[in-house]
A and B are shown apart, each in its own frame.
Chain A
Amino acid sequence: MVDRNGSNQTPKTGDLDDLGERLKVARQKRETPVETADDGSLLGQAWRMSTELVVSVVVGLGLGYGIDVIFGTKPWGILFGLCLGFAAGIMTVLKTSAKMDAQNAGIPLGDDMPDDEDE
């Protein structure tokens, strides 16, 4: 086979075949986990994250209000509660999404993996 540069080397085809093979394997690796993740649970994940975010804010607000009522620290409890609740919501959603990403890509993600060794 004569390639663009005019050199005539038979191993080239072997390399190409090999490359093709490896590409195929790599593509399969990339495609299959996404397909398995798409088993109708995507809607469930969306539900999960949206409620987590909203409820965290509400819980923060409620706790802040409770502290206000008990200790008489009128506006500050609600204020800090709201901020903390929002932070908690964002944190939970970030954690959840990191876990989902790792699951989709088939990558074990540090602390979220079930670790059997250290117990």
Chain B
Amino acid sequence: MTSDPMQQFQIKEKAQLFEIFGQSISWTNSAFWMVVAAVLIVGFFALTTKRKLVPGKMQSLGELSYEFIANMVKDTTGAEAMKFMPFVFTLFFFILAANLIGMNPYAFTTTSHLAVTAAMAIFTICVVIVAGIWKNGFKWFKIFAPSGLPLPMYAIIIPIEIISFISRPITLAVRLFANMVAGHVMLKLFAIFAAYLAAKGGIFALGAIVPVLGTMAIVALEFLIAGLQAFVFAILTCVYLNDVYHVDH
């Protein structure tokens, strides 16, 4: 075990695949754990959806998770947004799986990299923009200019609305990434502290009980955060999808 709390986030290149425009594309530990997450999710839902009329325990788990996301989309955006439900579903379960995998020792937390979270956030906001223009035409840009204001106000309101729109993907990406990084660093720091105290021996070894208890508490907190951040990402995706359907706000 190393004593550098940031080392757990290091990307390790396993194999170089090919090059595009001088940028090497390689198979990394991050990519590996992303695939693991995807395989786990697909496997979970393949195994739990046996489509019995009376669902067993595992099948209800699969069905409950479907209903959970379906209700989230319906309640937040409306029934017409159910087209996007598979998208929200995928986002939620990928983030949840990646976060939970990251809680295992020796596993890599893919969501602790801004590149990963930003890719998801930018894709989400692109979906909103493309679907919004697809559905409303250029009337969609009215989300930046709410109707019914005195004319001079628009000089202030439009830049403000644009800023708040641009900050959406950034909040999505930064929140998830910062949460995962902060949690894992904290976990590592407490664990290292405990190891140091135990190594000191004598009265210090007794004191190691405090950081060990702290580590346990943080593990519990991290499991909560893992689910919570997946939930927040998914529900905010729904909130942003609102702008596709409700231009006049």
Can you list, as one digit per residue, whether each of B30-54 has a CB less than 8 Å from chain A (1) or not (0)? 0000000000000000000000000
Of the candidates A52, A84, A111, A112, the one whose C-beta lies within 8 Å of that of B160 is A84
Enumerate A30-68 residues with CB–CB distance to B below 8 Å. Answer: 40-41, 43-44, 47-48, 51-52, 55-56, 58-60, 63
Q: What bracket does the count of chain A residues touching chain B fall in?
A: 20 to 34
From B160, B167, B248, name the one whose CB has the most chain A CB atoms within 10 angstroms.
Answer: B167
Give how many A-B residue pairs fall within 8 Å (CB-CB).
78
Report yes or no: B170 in contact with A59, Cβ–Cβ below 8 A: yes
C-alpha gap A24/B229 in the complex (Å): 37
Q: A56-B164, A85-B163, A88-B161 are in contact. Are A47 and B245 (CB under 8 A)?
A: no
Residue contact A119 to B245, C-beta cutoff 8 Å: yes
Q: Is the CB of B170 within 8 A of A55?
A: yes
Tell me whether A48 and B163 are in contact (CB under 8 A): no
Across the interface, which residues of B come within 8 angstroms of A116, CB to CB? 78-80
Name which of B79, B175, B249 has the most chain A CB atoms within 10 A of its CB.
B175
| Residue pair A51, B156 in contact (C-beta under 8 Å) | no
B101 proximal to A (CB < 8 A): no
Contacts of A47 in B (CB 8 A): 175, 179, 228-229, 232
Residue A79, interface by CB 8 Å: no
* CB of A115 closer than 8 Å to a CB of B: yes
CB distance from B90 to the nearest CB of A (A): 19
- B interface SS class: helix
B246 touches A59 (CB 8 A): no
With A115-B246, A116-B78 known to touch, is A88 a contact of B167 (CB < 8 Å)? yes
Q: Cβ of A91 and Cβ of B79 under 8 Å apart?
A: no
In the complex, which residue of chain B has the Cβ closest to the Cβ of A52? B171
Interface size range on B against A = 20 to 34
State which residues 62-119 of A face B: CB under 8 Å.
63, 84-85, 87-89, 91-92, 111-112, 114-116, 119
Distance (Å) between the CB of B124 and the closest chain A CB?
A: 15
Residue interface bits B125-155, CB-to-A below 8 A is 1, else 0: 0000000000000000000000000000000
Q: Is A44's CB under 8 angstroms from B249's CB? A: no
Name the CB-closest residue of A to B233: A44
Contact surface of A with B, Cβ cutoff 8 Å:
40-41, 43-44, 47-48, 51-52, 55-56, 58-60, 63, 84-85, 87-89, 91-92, 111-112, 114-116, 119
For the complex of A and B, 3 pairs with smallest distance between CB atoms: A114-B78, A88-B163, A88-B164
Further 9 A-B residue pairs, CB within 8 A, beyond A56-B163, A111-B248:
A55-B170, A55-B171, A58-B167, A88-B163, A114-B76, A114-B77, A114-B78, A119-B80, A119-B245
